[in-house]
Structure 1
Amino acid sequence: MRAARAVRAVLGLLLPLTVTAAMGAQATAAPAPAPASAVTAIRGGDALYSSAGSRCAVGFNATDGNAFYALMPGLCGSAGTQWFADAQRQVPVGETVTSHFPGGNYSVIRYTDPDLEYPSEVTTSTGPSRVERAIAPAPGMRICRSGPGSGWRCGAIQQVNVSVQYPEGVLNGLFRANVCAEPGDIGGPAVSGDAAVGVLVSATGNCATGGTTYYQPVVGPLSETGLRVGY
């Protein structure tokens, strides 16, 4: 039952219980998904498709020095979830090895396809952009967000240490920004320059009328898992 709720939440762009989803028309800033045969690399902001039927964007690629991983929201899938590079689920790319939700909101996917590249980069409106480090969020910090639903969107952090109510419980320690999102953007990375800041976990509004987004900071999860960006 819990897993089923998580899948439904991902498909609907998970929102706090106290707000209503504004499911407007899809923005046109996001490029169409590449055919499975054309995928040679996976970057932050690119879509992955789970064996449970959900879709989430990669937050950030990371490494422990031995293997490559994707940092994503915990709501995207529990440990053991299989992930694919294509909507037809014909190109397996990894498996969730740890997931924290609720109580935290991040998960780690271990990449398993040796034929793909996993650079420390995010997808932007003008091409890949390198991620060199991770930093903590701060009010007023300028950020840009990438996602397969609405593409590359920018704004500023409004508040840190925000709490959001989910069906499974309250999540603490998030940050809020005046950046819009659309369905399909969940999981996407927020960067400030060349620094990883957070992954998208919730949103209100849309990109036609404006919206607010909430993010899990990445400094803590990277430290807890022993992973690093900027390799």
Structure 2
Amino acid sequence: MFAVMKTGGKQYKVKAGDRLRVEKLAADAGETVQFNDILMLGGDSATVGSPTVEGAAVQATVVDQIKGEKLIHFVKRRRKHSSKRTKGHRQQLTLVEITEILTSGADKSGVKAAVGAGSVATTAEAAPAPKKAAKKEAAPTAAAPAAGGDDLKQLSGVGPALEKKLHEAGVTSFAQIAAWTPEDVADMDEKLSFKGRIEREGWIEQAKKLAGA
């Protein structure tokens, strides 16, 4: 009886007792692994999978982790100053010996699935890490005055954006605005980029009334 199995992107026709080299598996020497991608079973009657034969598998024992023959890769670019480059490469392989071909019941065999060393897949899928709940920061309320300060939006022409600029400049109360001198007004005009607005809107007079209230 023989089987055609797939591993590492290649197909192999195997029977019990065969030894073959496959793309490196995540297994140690002496371990038993199971190839579950069986494309065909042959013998007295052939069974062809669509694409694989359900319940079929090939079990094998890992003999050793080896390297393939050295391959030389030579590149020459004659139009680029005659540059040349030579590289050598030895493919990582696993030597296995086929021990048994299962025609059914592969899912109940309990044998570790043959997985490529470079694959992230495992026989038992790892539970996904719990997602950390994103901390929701409370958005500042535009209408709320600064802590310990006055609601500067009561002044004519002052909205949330302008109030924020005033807070950044250290102005949080009507009393501060009521006490501004001409020098303070000129300085604040520059900071707020609204030259002449303070006098036009009459902030100082409004602040005096609001502070008194």
Q: Same fold per TM (> 0.5)?
A: no
The structure in which a higher percent of residues are strand is 1
TM-score by length of 1: 0.20
TM-score by length of 2: 0.22
Please tell me whether Structure 1 or Structure 2 has the larger radius of gyration of its CA atoms: 2
